């Protein structure tokens, strides 16, 4: 089976969609499939980067087109970058020959339309991997008004893509509900969670952890948020909750990664006179297991209005690290369901700084509770949400979709 992945980010980019795409591509190659990727020559968030136009990595043929010209300079600038990527990707897809199935992500938005074009021209089946739901993202961020002409046009475009793709893969129950509410037939929707590699992220003892030594954590309880600090994440509850723990010299916070709201969080911590925290950039993926094991407790967050628009993937890494989770977000989300079903942490409503602080205190004061929650977290991942399970479902889905196609290459 010949598989084509289309996403603006891919290896060696560390963006979540790039990592999950790389994981899936490697797995498919290991199953004997031929896998090609079309991605950008830029790296997310790194201006001036120019990756090779072609390379073969892990048996994956990676074709890269264009570069970000304007970066994040504004909606019009980003739209221009996206338009350039659409055009160059279309040309490259036609150049590299026919594939049995394409997997189109959502960066840039509506790239799935190219998948529909390839199906019309070459009979290539389309699986639409809905990492983020558009135009919903633009509406909840306030970029577009829900009833505006542009929003309504984009909504029609996305409904067309969802209803005409051979399958659309959503990341959780909350996202599935949103897609169903758009009138999409349930038979066209497949729910496959994103994952963490249970072999890549292994729990490690505190005393052996290099990060804890580097940061001088000692025996303190380390509460960590790692990843993207995006506009959909509730950093205020972190800061306000931390302020209520100021008297606890045995508690320390770590904020690792980047994003628009990270500087706001750091400023909020300092404005409250808090200094017992660590701040660091994204860490290399090869140190992911060590990083996640450095924490005693992990934080995951998303504002309720984002429920189903996107699903935070970082929760699965925290499960792999065998650590309890504090979810700050809506109760009707996939992340909240994971925490409740695995019995591996606490679900805290956004803005509930007292509840947040109480959860941290309870975990700080009860090492046995931390350990039992951590064990349940990792076991639940192994049983339900680990990479091998998700990958096998992806392989089965792609085979089923391609089997629908009676057309054969001459």
Go through the domains of the chain in sequence order and give each one's CATH number.
2-195+387-403 (3.40.50.2000), 206-384 (3.40.50.2000)
Question: How far apart (Å, rounded) are the C-alpha atoms in residues 285 and 84?
Answer: 29
Question: How far apart (Å, rounded) are the C-alpha atoms in residues 337 and 349?
Answer: 14
Categorize the per-residue pLDDT at 74 as very low, low, confident or very high, splitting at 50, 70 and 90.
Answer: low
> Rounded to the nearest 10 degrees, what angle do helices 334-342 and 367-380 cross at?
110
Give the residue carrying structure tokens 């067309």. 160
Question: How far apart (Å, rounded) are the C-alpha atoms in residues 387 and 381?
Answer: 9
Nearest to 358 by CA among 232, 248, 194, 201: 248
For residue 55, pLDDT over 90 is answered with yes
The vertex-240 CA angle with 238 and 246, nearest 5°, equals 100
Categorize the per-residue pLDDT at 407 as very low, low, confident or very high, splitting at 50, 70 and 90.
Answer: very low
- Note the pLDDT of residue 355: 99
As a whole number of Å, the CA-based R_g of the chain is: 21
- Note the pLDDT of residue 365: 98
Q: For residue range 115-173, what is the model confidence (pLDDT) as tens digits?
A: 999 999 999 999 999 999 999 999 999 999 999 999 999 999 999 999 999 999 999 99
CB atoms within 10 A of CB 22: 23
End-to-end CA distance of the chain: 15
pTM: 0.91
φ, ψ for residue 328, nearest 5 deg: -105, 100
For residue 78, pLDDT over 80 is answered with no
For residue 71, pLDDT over 60 is answered with no
């Amino acid at each position: 089976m010949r598989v084509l992945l289309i996403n603006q980010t891919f290896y060696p980019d560390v963006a979540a969609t790039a990592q999950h795409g790389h994981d899936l591509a490697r797995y498919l190659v290991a199953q004997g499939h031929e896998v090609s990727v079309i991605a950008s020559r830029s790296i997310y968030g790194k201006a001036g980067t120019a990756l090779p136009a072609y390379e073969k990595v892990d048996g994956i043929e990676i074709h890269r087109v264009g570069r970000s010209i304007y970066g994040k300079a504004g909606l019009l600038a980003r739209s221009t970058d996206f338009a350039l990527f659409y055009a160059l990707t279309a040309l490259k897809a036609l150049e590299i020959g026919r594939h049995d199935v394409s997997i189109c992500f959502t960066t840039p938005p509506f790239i799935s339309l190219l998948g529909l074009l390839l199906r019309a021209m070459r009979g290539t089946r389309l699986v639409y991997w809905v990492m983020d739901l558009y135009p919903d993202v633009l509406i909840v961020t306030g970029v577009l008004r829900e009833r505006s002409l542009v929003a309504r046009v984009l909504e029609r475009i996305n409904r067309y893509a969802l209803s005409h793709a051979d399958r659309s893969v959503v990341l959780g129950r909350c996202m599935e509900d949103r897609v169903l509410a758009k009138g999409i037939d349930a038979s066209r929707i497949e729910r496959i969670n994103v994952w963490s590699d249970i072999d890549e992220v292994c729990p490690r003892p505190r005393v052996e952890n290099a990060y804890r030594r580097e940061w001088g954590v000692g025996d303190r309880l380390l509460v960590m948020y790692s990843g993207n600090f995006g506009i959909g994440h509730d950093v205020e509850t972190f800061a306000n909750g931390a302020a209520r723990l100021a008297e606890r010299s045995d508690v320390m916070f770590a904020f690792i990664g980047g994003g628009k709201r990270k500087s706001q969080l750091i400023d909020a911590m300092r404005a409250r006179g808090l200094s017992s925290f660590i701040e660091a950039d994204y860490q290399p993926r090869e140190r992911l297991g060590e990083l996640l094991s450095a924490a005693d407790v992990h934080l995951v967050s998303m504002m309720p209005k984002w429920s189903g628009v996107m699903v935070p993937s970082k929760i699965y890494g925290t499960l792999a690290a065998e650590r309890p989770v504090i979810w700050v977000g809506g109760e009707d989300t996939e992340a909240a369901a994971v925490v409740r079903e695995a019995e591996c942490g606490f679900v805290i409503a956004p803005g509930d700084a007292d509840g947040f602080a109480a959860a941290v205190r309870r975990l700080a004061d009860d090492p046995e509770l931390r350990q039992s929650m951590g064990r349940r977290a990792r076991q639940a991942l192994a049983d339900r949400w680990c990479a091998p399970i998700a990958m096998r479902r992806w392989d089965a889905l792609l085979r089923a979709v391609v089997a629908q196609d009676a057309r054969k290459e001459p």
